[in-house]
Structure 1
Amino acid sequence: MTFYNFLLLIHVFSAILGMGPGFVMIYIVTKAKTMAELKHAYLIRNRLHHFVMVGGTLLLLSGVTMGAIRPYLFQMGWYVTSLVLFIIALTFGPVILSPRSKPVKALLKNSSDDKIPDAYYVLAGKLFFYERIENMIFLMIIVLMVLKPF
Structure 2
Amino acid sequence: MTFYSVLLVIHLIAAVVGLGATFGLPVLLGNVKNTSQAKFAHKVSQGIEKYAKIGSITLLLTGIIMGIIQPYLFKEVWYIASLIIYVAVQPIAAGLLPKNANLQIEVLEEHDGHELPEDYLILAKKAAPLNHILSASAIVLIILMTLKPF
| Shared fold, TM over 0.5 | yes
Asked if 2 retains the 8 angstrom alpha-carbon contact of 1:89 and 1:138, the reply is no
**Corresponding residue for 1:133?**
133
For 1:1-150, what aligned pairs fall within 5 Å after superposition? 1-150=1-150
1:15-70, CA deviations, whole angstroms, 9 ceiling, x for partnerless residues?
01111122110111222211001100111111111111010011001000000000
Deviation at 1:143, TM superposition (A): 0.6
CA distance in 1, matches of 2:104, 2:96: 14
Asked if 2 retains the 8 angstrom alpha-carbon contact of 1:22 and 1:49, the reply is no
Aligned length: 150
Percent identity for Structure 1 against Structure 2: 31
CA distance in 2, matches of 1:73, 1:65: 11
- The normalised TM-score by structure 1 is 0.94
1:93-143, CA deviations, whole angstroms, 9 ceiling, x for partnerless residues?
344324433321211221111111122111111012112211211111111
CA distance in 2, matches of 1:41, 1:105: 10
- The normalised TM-score by structure 2 is 0.94
Q: Specify the code of the residue in structure 1 equivalent to 2:64.
A: V
Asked if 2 retains the 8 angstrom alpha-carbon contact of 1:78 and 1:144, the reply is yes
CA RMSD, 1 decimal: 1.3
- Any idea what SS the aligned residue of 1:32 has? coil
Gaps of 5+ in 2: none
Q: Specify the code of the residue in structure 1 equivalent to 2:18.
A: G
Q: Specify the code of the residue in structure 2 equivalent to 1:121.
A: L
Flag the 1:99–1:21 CA change in 2: closer, same or farther, 3 A: closer
